Amino acid sequence: MKKFAGLNEKYSNYETAKIAVLPVPYDKTSTWIKGADDGPEALLEASEALEWFDIETKTEVYRHGIATLPEVDDDSTPEKLCAAVDDAVSQILSDEKFPVIIGGNHTVSIGSFRAMARHFGNLTILQLDAHSDMRDTYEGSPLNHACVMYQAASLAQVTQVGIRSMCIEELHHINHDRIFYAHEIFDNNLWQQRALDTLSQNVYVTIDLDVLDPSVLPSTGTPEPGGLTYYQVLHFLRSVFVNRNVVGFDIVELCPNSKQKASDFLAARLAYQLMTYKFFYGAGKNQ
């Protein structure tokens, strides 16, 4: 497994790094296009092409240290996978580092949700996604990637952004005051403050890359038309990092295509940008 951004030992050593990247190459509960288990490796490989200087903030977040951990590979069952992710994220939090989880399909986030909910009070799980993922079970499993936010809602309050696909049964599980549908927000920014107002002080961000329009990021397992643009996602998340304590994030559902590398690089760039936001705008700036 490659190191994030190809950093040398000085900036990738776990003992001194303030950021810990956890790859989870899991795909067994995917339901359409397979290949999300190749997502972490593709993101890490693309990250080696990043410029370390961020134009927006005039900073280089890598100087805080970004360690890349060994991948979580206990994928015999979704239950064991979620438990292994829970254990790994709990250790990162115990070591007082900022966790960044890269999938893999969205099931990998469940273990992270569990660790975060135990570690932080007053927590909101903020989902950016095309799909509401509010089924209580799917294809015989409550841990399917279509059930992720149903699991999240049992652990913390949930806010959902960019949603444009669901089944009718999910309506019974949705909090209609905390969901921001893509068709209502695509042509304005008025929703952003309303969404921000739903968030508690501590926020964990889970990003399914299909929140982005397929014209922006086509390499994902369940692409949906009508998605957000890159800057819509960034501008909203910047306000979250400025106004709340973001305690970690994940980026999932990259399904790499060997003939189209732009999606891989976007995912890596997004990860680096959010690390930057944490240590410039957010609570991490004082660490």
Pair 124, 157: CB distance under 8 Å = yes
pLDDT at position 128, please? 98
Q: Residue 53 has which token pair?
A: 């200087």
- SS3 state at 83: helix
Please, what sign has the CA dihedral across residues 271, 194, 135, 228? negative
In angstroms, rounded to a whole number, what is the distance separating the alpha carbons of residues 207 and 127? 6
On whether 129 is known to bind a ligand per the annotation, the reply is yes
On whether 210 is known to bind a ligand per the annotation, the reply is yes
On whether 37 is known to bind a ligand per the annotation, the reply is no
pLDDT at position 286, please? 43
On whether 27 is known to bind a ligand per the annotation, the reply is no
pLDDT at position 71, please? 97
The H or E element that residue 264 is part of is helix 262-280
- SS3 state at 203: strand
CA distances from 242 to 85, 251, 269 (A): 28, 20, 19
36: Cβ–Cβ under 8 A, 6 or more apart, which residues?
26, 27, 30, 103, 104, 105, 221, 252, 253, 254, 255
Count of CA atoms in the C-beta half-sphere (13 A) of 119: 24
Pair 202, 124: CB distance under 8 Å = yes
On whether 73 is known to bind a ligand per the annotation, the reply is no
In angstroms, rounded to a whole number, what is the distance separating the alpha carbons of residues 29 and 150? 15
Closest CA to 264 of 50, 3, 21, 105: 50
Q: Residue 233 has which token pair?
A: 């996602």
Backbone angles phi, psi at 219, to 5 degrees: -85, 75
Per-residue model confidence as pLDDT tens for the chain (287 residues): 799 999 999 999 999 999 999 999 998 666 666 789 999 999 999 999 999 999 999 999 999 999 999 999 877 789 999 999 999 999 999 999 999 999 999 999 999 999 999 999 999 999 999 999 999 998 888 888 889 999 999 999 999 999 999 999 999 999 999 999 999 999 999 999 999 999 999 999 999 999 999 999 999 999 999 999 999 999 999 999 999 999 999 999 999 999 999 999 999 999 999 999 999 997 655 44
* Cis-peptide, bond into residue 104, ω within 30° of zero: yes
On whether 106 is known to bind a ligand per the annotation, the reply is yes
In angstroms, how far is the first alpha carbon of the chain from the final one?
28
Please state whether the predicted TM-score (pTM) of the whole model is above 0.75.
Answer: yes
